[in-house]
Structure 1
């Protein structure tokens, strides 16, 4: 059986931008997106016939197994993006309080949940959110009594052995070119999507960021490990990769200027809000 591509989309890592690129490269009937409660319910009922035409699965979901990677009994070829953990956490909190379609929007706003409470809460909805969430996701382990050193070691093992590409949000263009070479993407020009407006995260204090750092030491170490994997991959690609990167950035800058000009013409149709180019 051929491997199905699987984008393990960690929240607030430029995944919506990457999804838009992926959708430019795959027909709609070949993509299974799993994000909403309705998506999860529908996907529980899928049978082999419905899955036969799916080439790409994307979403905030886990594989059934990391070793070997599989979902719905199908072998997976997985890729993901990571982001600096404190920036990711702050962005996640502000985004979830700002976007009404998010499943935590009502809870966070109706209960006046502060960023500090978001980090430290043990209520079921939040207990993993502010404490090494990415390490738990990539280890495939959500158990509070599990030794965090073991969780981190397992997450590192999975990143190194189970993913065809481990990208870095802060180096999105390089990550995209590595992924394109790995899975054969052809249409790469993009606009950034689902971004917070400048200044949207300024309300988080230095003290709260320090608390976030103390509660997310595993994620910080995992991110440094992922950057090491990424940098070795880029270095191994050599001068030809650097030349492709320069060419792509030149073309994409022109593409983004055209998009920005069109956006300015349509600006009156969109309500001003904290999120730029939100996902549909």
Structure 2
């Protein structure tokens, strides 16, 4: 019987670009179905069953067709995902979408001068679901009134994280999550460079009132994240001191790896720019 493909249920702004670079080192190009760009969304809106033969990993900002058991493209899948503190995730998502010209929201957000508060509270169709308990919706596929606390959907999301998904990581605990995910997926290589990180100078000021509003409008997501974090911390605690040493060893190795990558990148930039000629 063919093994179920893995599905990266990619919540935006949770270090997914970095993770996908790691995944490419362990899965062959022909084994990955990646659905991120508008062209890919159109091309893979529907897929013939035969086209999925040989696919071991599906990845993208996609909702599942069914959540319990998880299915997409009419196939059972083994799901993994990463969560991030919901308010910081929303701030990061808003700033990223405003600063990256290739994304489909860039023109709309900038031409209409959409503020972070408007991004959260707007009822405009393109924004209405983005700033209001999106994580709870993403992990259940349920539609609910954004003006009401989604108690039922929240309980379904908790159930899915604890009992249905194969692996749940925490972006703020990325290295620990990565080591656990490596065992789950059988990854060959775990060292990484950080990708798609917002530069500090691009981070616009978000007021305390905006943060308070984000927490209010995303109360279910805040509770869901706390639940997921507790599950994760309990798992780490159960692994004991040996796992903590393994994490520390990996952090040391990966720090050296990142320094090496940075040095190579600097050298390549220097070669592209040509030799530096000092004035006489």
Shorter-chain TM-score bucket reads over 0.9
Pairing partner for 1:248 from 235, 247, 250? 250
In the TM superposition, 1:1-280 aligns within 5 A as 1-144=2-145, 148-267=150-269
Contact 2:144 2:150 in 1 (8 A): no
| Structure 1: segments with no counterpart, 5+ residues | 271-280
Runs of 4+ displaced beyond 4 Å: 267-270
Q: What is the DSSP-based 3-state SS (H/G/I as helix, E as strand, rest coil) of the residue aligned with 1:196? A: coil
Q: CA deviation at 1:202?
A: 3.8
Contact 1:10 1:80 in 2 (8 A): yes
Residues 7-34 of structure 1 deviation map (CA, whole Å, 9 limit, x = unaligned): 0000101011000000111000000011
Distance 1:11 1:151, change over 3 A: same
Q: What is the DSSP-based 3-state SS (H/G/I as helix, E as strand, rest coil) of the residue aligned with 2:71? A: strand
**Which stretch of the first structure deviates more once superposed, 214-223 or 145-154?**
145-154
| TM-score between the two structures when normalised by the length of structure 1 | 0.92
Contact 2:87 2:215 in 1 (8 A): yes
- CA distance in 2: counterparts of 1:126 and 1:236, whole angstroms: 41
**Which stretch of the first structure deviates more once superposed, 16-25 or 227-236?**
227-236
| Structure 2: segments with no counterpart, 5+ residues | 274-280
Instruction: Tell me which structure has the larger Cα radius of gyration.
Output: 2
Residues 76-129 of structure 1 deviation map (CA, whole Å, 9 limit, x = unaligned): 110100111111000000000000111111110111111110000111110011
Contact 2:17 2:195 in 1 (8 A): yes
Contact 1:2 1:75 in 2 (8 A): no
Residues 223-273 of structure 1 deviation map (CA, whole Å, 9 limit, x = unaligned): 000101111111122222112111111110110000111222344669xxx
Q: What is the DSSP-based 3-state SS (H/G/I as helix, E as strand, rest coil) of the residue aligned with 2:77? A: strand
**Which stretch of the first structure deviates more once superposed, 246-255 or 136-145?**
136-145
Root-mean-square deviation over aligned CA pairs: 1.5
Count of residue correspondences: 270
Q: CA deviation at 1:52?
A: 0.3
- CA distance in 1: counterparts of 2:46 and 2:211, whole angstroms: 41
- CA distance in 2: counterparts of 1:3 and 1:129, whole angstroms: 31
